[in-house]
Amino acid sequence: PGMGMGMAPVVKSGPRKPSVQPSKKMRPLFWDRILLEKDEVEAAESAAMARAKQQSEDGNIVESELEVPLSVWALLEEPKLNIDDFEANFSQKAAKNKAKEDKPLEATPAKQSFTALDGKRSQAVGILMGSNRLGPSDIATALYAMDETKCKLEKMKALYTNRATAEELELIKMHLDGPDASAVPLTKADAFLWELDQIHQFKLRCECWMFRSSFVEDIFSVKERLEAVSAATKALRENECIETVLSYVLAFGNYMNGSTKRGQADGFALTVLAKLRDVKTQDNTSNLLAYLIEQLATLHPSSSDAATFPLPDSAVFMAAQNVSFEELLGDLNRIDKAVATCSHKVDRVLGSTTDEALAQPFKDVMETFLSDCINDVSELKIRASSAQAAYDSLVEWFRFKPKGAGGVASPADFFGLWTTFTAQGLEAWTALQRRLVRQQFEAARQAKQAQAQAVTTKKVTGISLKSKLKKRLGRQASSDDAA
């Protein structure tokens, strides 16, 4: 209501110019034709009749005086052509048949066909038919059995997406029931869509098949998120080094805050774990996190050069921090409703036929599938409830209360904190291991250098047996000469 008030409806009209019949077959000129609306045609005719009275000083029509604004085409007059010259230049060459030159070729009238589709729609259906290469009977066989070996589900989805609309089917049916049905056949695209619709409950069967595929994906997504939360919860509960870290940080904090009201704490808010790296040493060469990691390294010695990081992998917490229990439970409820909807569709398919050949194997396949669906959803609801209870218990165990959001600790808040801390801890641990390896290498190098220097010194300062014998013989010769 109120839309388009005062605006005259657009009245479609046919061509206003007479049809032209060339004496020869002409070359085509491919263009997009423009046909003026009826009101513009009438305005143009009025303007042409009153041209002399409605001209301005410069000889142009005063458009402001016209009720309908005219386009350039409204008053454009076609020039008179030299038909003989024009046809001589742009007519098509007549095809010559050497074997039958004496018989003129007669043009075969194009066979008429009916279509309820527009050009783009017809082209899209044609492409689909060419890529699918399955006839309606083959499609029906695959659909009744839900057999991907006969027709891939992706192709069936494409057929479902491009199926005929209610309006298209109505137009096709009207034509088939009309008197021209035998003389004017359907186009291939129209015939294909019509035959597709004749497959028993094509739309409902496709929707059941597609749901069977999407259900598997949806259930996998729920399981993946539940497993991520459970793994992160288990890692914080069972990793022995977690409590060691907390005890060291508590000792650090109480000592550093010993002379203030922040000291004598029984615990601390976990948010400080992400800030340990910001507390620098006196000479600014290290920080409190690196110092904490050094203490952990003394508690977890290793004979190898690359000791294993004692805290859980940050990837465990990163996967869990993206989980929302509200979304997870919402997805389960949505899946549950979708199972009920699919069950109703199966009942409609089976209730619309008494032919066993149309009911089977669809009936057995879908009833088994829906039974499994109900069990899977029920089991996942129980697992989701258990996972949330374990998570809530863990959060309470740490006395974790985030700021804002009503004090509700979401996995993004809680596990996000552990993601940051363990990632920073691993960086510090890796840096420490590299430093220890360099120190061991340097110590070994110095030991080897010292050993080599000791051997050289011994060779320079030592007196051999031969030297001692020469020296003794020299003293004895001197005594004989003196006698």
Q: Reduce the DSSP state of residue 24 to 3 states and report it.
A: coil
> Would you state the torsion angle of the CA atoms of residues 38, 42, 48, 52, taken in this order, to the nearest 10 degrees?
-150
Residues 296, 302, 306, 309, CA torsion sign: negative
CA distance 308 to 187: 71
User: Rounded mean pLDDT of 467-472?
Assistant: 66
**Per-residue confidence at 260, pLDDT binned at 50, 70, 90?**
confident
* Side-chain-side CA neighbours of residue 285 (13 Å): 1
Most confident of 22-26, 72-76, 366-370, 460-464: 366-370
pTM (two decimals): 0.64
Looking at the predicted structure, is the pLDDT value of residue 382 above 90? yes
pLDDT 10s digits, 164-219: 999 999 999 999 998 888 889 999 999 999 999 999 999 999 999 999 999 999 99
Tell me the two tokens of residue 6. Answer: 């005062």
Alpha-carbon gap, residue 173 to 71, rounded angstroms: 41
